Amino acid sequence: MGVYTKISDDLHDFFRTNQIRTSIQWNADLEKFFQKWIAVNSQLIEEEWKLMAEEDEQKQDNEHYEYSKHDNPAFTIGKETDSFDIEDEIGKRCLSMDVGTQCSPQDFGFVEAPLNLNEKIEDQIREGADEGGTEEEEEQVTTTGGRPLDEIKIAWKTNEKVTPGEALRLLNRGFVKHRELESRLEAVEAIAVRRAFVGKNVFRMLPFRNYDYKYVTNSCCENVIGYMPLPVGIAGPLRINDYSVNVPMATTEGALVASTNRGCRQSKWVRSLVSEVGMTRAPVVEFDSAIEVVQMRNWLENEKNFDLVKKEFESTSKYAKLRSIRVVQDGKMAFIRFVATTGDAMGMNMVSKGTSAAIKYLNREFTSMKLISLSGNYCVDKKAAAINYMEGRGREVVAEAEVPASVCEKLLHTTPKAMAEAANAKLRIGSDRAVCLGGNNAHAANIVAAIFLATGQDAAQVVSSSMCSTRMEVSASGDLYVSVTLPCLEVGTVGGGTILLPQRECLQLLGCAGPCQSLPGGHANRLAEVIAVTVMAGELSLMAALVTDELVSSHMKLNRSRLDLYPSHSQIGNRPLIISGVDITQNLFNRSIQPKPHSSQSSNCSNIL
């Protein structure tokens, strides 16, 4: 008797003897029934699971899953027993090729061909690595090309052709490092090898094809296994000074784009002003005595000496312009904070390079000076710090707007007075009582992070870039005056993630992709303006939702999936009861059950459960 038949009969008996019960009693009795049933029929269940596992294995040997056919490429033409599965239209061309021929996507007229290592070959390689056989035994094992391990090693060392399957074997045996794969294989092949190394069928939903990895390699990421798709929404049009833009926002927080979009259209005028403060780097050095620190500081305060250091600093880049040097002493240690403008780049690498050259020059002037670290945490980079909030870092941006009282009442469902009172209580008093560092705002980080992700900014810089002071007051005309001040917005439109094509398109949408040819720094300034004004729109909308108590209802509508993402089931043996591919417990608790009739009356369990 099969498990499915057995449990059906036993359930029928259970329903027949338990007809009149409350829903609570039914749930309790059902759970006891399953616990007892599993204990009694454990051997039968294990046999069923073993049979299912054998059927699944047979299925995997005979056919491909759909995702494998469309998400991964063919590598090498091999023997019939170890060839890579390929699309039908590609297969026709492969049939005419010799065994061992590597197939590239371009060979078949594709920008990128679907790509996947054959599952059998992956299993053989993994088993060889897991078994831990002797070197002599391992040398006898052959893979896709039928070559022993030593021959593959020599081929790798001498820059001869190595198939992805062979590269995976070397990777499994520790002969090859992940970072070396791209130097010998096409990027998409290297990624497939790396994914196979991590585990079979691990990355079913993480895509990796249809992406131009030449912008990633040696620029944005190492040991790549794919890319992470993020939803991108549009808020706008947003009016800023004399132009309008639609703002791309990458986020997984429902209601954020909708709320920001609402705030984009409420003001009768919007102004924004950017001040380029400069990027900073502050190495820490040590002298033999505290007196020498004072001597160096006095030396740098001399304009002529400062110009000498400035010349060394700026020799490393045509865009880096040193503005100031500040020395902070701690005993015989000194923190030297360099501040420089960096054109359209965010500028951390540029300033670090210039700082390194300047420190070497200072070392020639002060031979007892010892560099402890190029960054002494007085910069301050990627940490919330009072010095950045007070003195600025990157770009300081101020945005202001006036919202007519009629708009507040009609569209925001509140009044300027109520908004101003809430802003004072929450953004001023509440933040001060909590001692928020740069946190006198409602949710500036939400907007900054979303635009950073969409435009390829350094996501870690959100921690300081989102430090913001938001103000709301009733103007003399009775309207609502709103302003936001972001003193350390660290953004750029060249370098880093801005070179990636999707992120570059988002920058193009804002009219600030790449370097500004007419005015270095002009595009980064425009991006800073857009971020500041979008933050102001988000602040305006959220504060209105808080005042009118609409926050929860909007999030329940837009920030809560209605899909059955985590189906519940009876926690029997800490796992669901799956029989013939069917979760029986899931069906019992989430679907109607019609037991076999045992009399003229039938019992519909859905009415009880």
Residues labelled as active-site residues: 253, 382, 458, 555
End-to-end Cα separation, the chain, in angstroms: 29
- Answer for the pair 396, 489: CB distance below 8 angstroms, yes or no: yes
Task: Provide the β-strand partners of residue 285.
Answer: 334, 371
**545-to-17, 323, 347 alpha-carbon distances in Å:** 55, 43, 38
Distance CA 36, CA 223 (A): 49
The token pair at 580 is: 């013939």
CB 305: neighbour CB atoms within 10 A?
16
Cβ neighbors of 79 (< 8 A, separation 6 or more) are 99, 146
E strands present in 123-268: 232-240, 243-250
Closest CA to 143 of 129, 157, 158: 129
- Cβ within 8 Å of residue 578, ≥6 positions away: 49, 52, 584
State how far the Cα of 394 lies from the Cα of 159, in Å rounded to an integer: 45
One-letter amino acid at 432 equals D
Cis peptide preceding 380, ω within 30 of 0: yes
* Residue 341 to residue 6: CA distance in whole angstroms: 77
* Tokens of residue 389, six digits: 């909030």
